[in-house]
Structure 1
Amino acid sequence: MKDAAEDLRKNVSLPFEQARAMPPSVYTSEAFLARETSSIFAHDWFCAGRADALANPGDYITLDLADQPIIVLRDKVGALRAMSNVCRHRMSTLLEGRGNTRSIVCPYHAWTYNLDGSLRGAPAMDQNAGFCKSDYSLPDIRCEEWLGWVFVTLNPDIPAVAQQLAKVEDLVADYDMTNYTETFFETHIWDTNWKVLAENFMESYHLPVCHAGTIGGLSKLNEMICPPGEDSFNYHTILKDETLRIAMAHPNNTRMQGERRRTTFLLAIYPSLLITLTPGYFWYLTLHPHGVGQVRIGFGGGMSNDYADDPDAQANFVQLKTLLDDVNVEDRGCTEKVYRGLRSQSASPGHLSHLERPNYDFAQYINARIQAADHQ
């Protein structure tokens, strides 16, 4: 069997002007997915969602990162923290989904933990002479907030999120991304490789065709700008039509000038936080592999706080959410077709368009992580 890492190394060795799509093996190989899990998802920062989804003490979300179950919550003093979602007794997982809780109670034997991870109580343990509650706190996981986003990592040595993404912060400073409020969050599983969906977001070349039934007619390829990416992210921009008022900067917004007031950034923060950021609203995907042929998707979005007192805008966002759902149906169809095609014996990567520059940079990132892990 061909080595997918070697296929990718050869693929990315060409300059962008001669570049092709990534080879099929990097999407279909179980061995390559195992390497991605250890060298990317267990190594880099991963976005768990928005901080305003954890506004109150006891608010929590759960996720699996590189096969590690994690809780992210707001503790009693208002601090954001992450910890293992595995009981210290017989190792059941503890919480599921999202919600609010006063304490963390194991569903197996009711060992109960405080919101700081310390063990509060353990029924029927008084006859074990070696048992001491202070020995049984839930292990902490690194957790940081950046511009309203919550990131976790299993890597104790990785630089801070703000350090890695300083260029993103400079790039979109006038959008004030911290002050967007999430109004919906959903989870989905699609039958495609995680990188297929990530790449689908990174290029708007497909919009006129894949989204012919929704937004395709509004997509002007000649207005899309796809600059070279950076080490931790790539992006491209498009100009929104002013008929979509809630995509424009609010009249009260004096931070933004000129065309910036209608510019949409499509940010791909590695490995898999994908943000559509307009001056008026945002939506995002956060992706994690669910096996080679499936991807687990967190899908959320909301409005800039500039629109908080604008009831018409809120009603318009409800209509926009319906449109986004329709767009997702189209994207699911397109990306699942790509994955089916990738498994064909006839699959062979074609040359990239200039509108697929972000895909080239993403391939460089994937290769760099895999090669670095191989040389450690």
Structure 2
Amino acid sequence: MKPRTSFGQKTLGRGYFTSKDIFDMERERIFRTGWLLVGHVSQLDVPGRFFVFDLDHESVIVLRDEDGAIRAFHNHCRHRGSRLCAAGEGNLGRSIRCPYHAWNYGLDGRLRSAPSMADVAGFDAADWPLHTVVVETWLGFVFISLAREPQPFAHVLANLTGRFAHRDTSVLRAVHREVYLVAANWKLVFHNFSECYHCPGVHPQLNRLTPFRNTENDLDEGAVLGGPMWMNNPEGSMTMGGERCAAPLPGISSEERGRVYYYTVFPSAFISFHPDYVLLHRAEALAIDCTRVTCEWYFHPDAIATPGFDPQPAIAFWDLTNRQDWTLCENTQRGVASLTWQPGPYSELESQLAAFDREYRRVMALDAASGD
């Protein structure tokens, strides 16, 4: 599919990568209102299992309840506001107990008991459940929104909800997690992921497996952007040696087995569908010039159980590629901070960056010419 042209469009202006006012505006208009990819259902394999997602002063417990449903709650007690879960993940058992005054909540968020409150006039435990957070899942990936009344998930991420149903990624399991701190603005990290213009000179290993022009974009407008790159070896994968670490994932076609599908999910993730595994990058904007990227490698349980299974070639390949990319992002952050830098023109190989910027301006409600 021919991508929408980037002709005449320039990159975002300096302030979008350096201004605290713009960063604060992003918090309000994007991160506290939009849908954020925060994890995978495999982290919640049994009732009581949980993980915590933090954004500034907000902390969210994501858990599986006793009926098997995925729920999310603000991580504070309704009594005096104490944080309920200090650990980043674990197993709550059958309830959530406040460490301060032992108020006890069910996994459904209802207040079950509150010591010494029975004699308080008018107190009714039913009036004091945990504050809920809206949660959705798509193919096993968990999304939340901190907005009280967010836009419908199916509307905002329509390009996701109607696609890839034949890929049952909900059954996959992460075999490795790598966390990186990148000294660059989150948008530069998205920009870097969205083009392979830089690949021949920076990623010789990657460019050998998927030459930079072996690409087409089947999603080129909106909150989900990207498309496939086809590999020189249709029986291979993206690994240090170019061979697969496992059998092809169930349900994918012979054509899909020779391609890697790369998508950005605004504003928090990149999902890469390989023939034998799925790679997830979650990007969290910690500061104007600091982004935490959590990278996870997901394989099918049957592959993991196969004698001799070794995911290291895939892990090493993307760890190398990631580190090469973070150097580029950090160099760019230093460059755009210069008072003399001016936005440059996008090439046709950067049409996805131009599309990202259009979506960014739309969500931020900005005029197309603003910010230079």
Q: For the superposition of Structure 1 and Structure 2, which TM-score range results when normalised by the shorter chain?
A: 0.7 to 0.9
Closer/same/farther in 2, CA of residues 254 and 104 from structure 1, 3 Å limit: closer
Closer/same/farther in 2, CA of residues 304 and 355 from structure 1, 3 Å limit: farther
Computed over aligned residues only, the root mean square deviation of the Cα atoms, in angstroms, reads 2.7
- State the 1:308 CA deviation: 5.1
Corresponding residue number in structure 2 for 1:349: 343
Tell me how far apart the structure 2 counterparts of residues 152 and 254 of structure 1 sit (CA, whole Å). Answer: 28
Range that drifts further, 88-97 or 75-84: 88-97
Alpha carbons 2:219, 2:227 under 8 Å: kept: no
Tell me how far apart the structure 2 counterparts of residues 303 and 97 of structure 1 sit (CA, whole Å). Answer: 23
Paired residue type of 1:54? L
Q: Which runs of 5+ in 1 are unaligned?
A: 1-13
Alpha carbons 1:247, 1:278 under 8 Å: kept: no
Alignment of 1:53-202 (within 5 A): 53-65=43-55, 67-95=57-85, 96-102=87-93, 103-125=95-117, 128-202=120-194
User: Whose helix fraction is larger, Structure 1's or Structure 2's?
Assistant: 1
- State the 1:65 CA deviation: 3.8
Corresponding residue number in structure 1 for 2:365: 371
Corresponding residue number in structure 2 for 1:294: 290
Tell me how far apart the structure 2 counterparts of residues 169 and 359 of structure 1 sit (CA, whole Å). Answer: 22
- State the 1:129 CA deviation: 3.7
Corresponding residue number in structure 1 for 2:370: none
Corresponding residue number in structure 2 for 1:268: 264
Tell me how far apart the structure 1 counterparts of residues 251 and 40 of structure 2 sit (CA, whole Å). Answer: 25
Between the two proteins, what is the percent identity of the paired residues?
29
Alpha carbons 1:238, 1:265 under 8 Å: kept: yes
| 1:256 is aligned to 2:253 | yes
Tell me how far apart the structure 2 counterparts of residues 247 and 361 of structure 1 sit (CA, whole Å). Answer: 33
Paired residue type of 1:285? H
Closer/same/farther in 2, CA of residues 164 and 345 from structure 1, 3 Å limit: closer
TM-score (norm 1): 0.85
Paired residue type of 2:321? V
- Size of the aligned set, in residue pairs, is 355
- State the 1:311 CA deviation: 3.5
CA offset digits 1:34-65 (Å, max 9, x no partner): 11111111221111111121111011111124
Alpha carbons 1:228, 1:357 under 8 Å: kept: no
Tell me how far apart the structure 2 counterparts of residues 359 and 305 of structure 1 sit (CA, whole Å). Answer: 35
Corresponding residue number in structure 2 for 1:333: 327
CA offset digits 1:160-215 (Å, max 9, x no partner): 43444343355534444344332334544322111111211112222233334x53
Closer/same/farther in 2, CA of residues 131 and 121 from structure 1, 3 Å limit: same
Range that drifts further, 177-186 or 345-354: 177-186
Tell me how far apart the structure 1 counterparts of residues 352 and 246 of structure 2 sit (CA, whole Å). Answer: 25
Tell me how far apart the structure 2 counterparts of residues 228 and 154 of structure 1 sit (CA, whole Å). Answer: 26
Corresponding residue number in structure 2 for 1:44: 34
Q: Which runs of 5+ in 2 are unaligned?
A: 237-241, 368-372
Tell me how far apart the structure 1 counterparts of residues 13 and 354 of structure 2 sit (CA, whole Å). Answer: 12
